[in-house]
Amino acid sequence: MAVFKIVLYGDEVLREKARPVAKITPNIHKLLDNLRDTMYHARGVGLAAPQIGVSKRVIVVDTGEGLIELINPEIVEARGEETDTEGCLSLPNVVGEVTRAAEVRVKGLDRHGNPVEHHARGFLARALQHEIDHLDGILFIDRAVRIRRVKPGA
């Protein structure tokens, strides 16, 4: 298990547009494994490569329905609108009310380079949008209508 330190708000890598993955290599497999291990260790539901200091378009998400690994993900369709509370491992003890699409269709590659597509609603749709935003240097606080601090562990 490889658990990495999560990059915190203020680090420049969180504001960069991450580079696309041109070729799936053993290093990309290792990056996916590291993201997964770090996300689970931190008890998160998603993590993007920039959050461990790697400027590549790679994310992992698990909202309780199983692990999703995506390389070069992109939202190809979005419908509806929902506002809900979000937090982020890179901004501990901060939450905000964020409006996002209620339903999305996301395309990308799996760890073997095969094209995959996910249709998601609700919490999974929100998590995918949140992590894909990280790949474009966008944080949830940029989209939040209200931001507040919460007590650690709350």
Q: What is the pLDDT of residue 3?
A: 96
Instruction: Supply the CATH number for residue 77's domain.
Output: 3.90.45.10
Quick one: average pLDDT of 4-26? Answer: 98
pLDDT tier at 152 (50, 70, 90 boundaries)? Answer: confident
Residue 7 domain-assigned?
no
Residue 154 lies in a domain: no
Q: What is the pLDDT of residues 51-103, one digit of tens each?
A: 999 999 999 999 999 999 999 999 999 999 999 999 999 999 999 999 999 99
In a domain, 117, yes or no: yes
Identified catalytic residue from 77, 82, 86, 131: 131
User: 102 in a domain, yes or no?
Assistant: yes
Specify the residue for token string 């291990």: 37
Q: Is 41 annotated as a binding residue?
A: no
Has residue 120 got a pLDDT over 80? yes
Find, among 93, 92, 94, 99, the residue nearest to 130 by Cα.
Answer: 99
For residue 70, tell me if it sits in a domain: yes
pLDDT score of 130 more than 70: yes
Show Cβ contacts of residue 151 under 8 Å, excluding neighbours closer than 6 positions: 93
The tally of domains found in the chain comes to 1
Average pLDDT, the chain: 97
Provide the residue range defining the domain that includes 135.
12-149
User: Is 4 among the domain residues?
Assistant: no
Whether 131 is catalytic: yes
- Is there a domain that residue 6 lies in? no
Per this entry, what is the length of the chain?
A: 154
Residue 1 above 90 pLDDT?
no
In a domain, 5, yes or no: no
119 marked among binding-site residues:
no
- Separation CA 42–CA 32 (nearest Å): 15
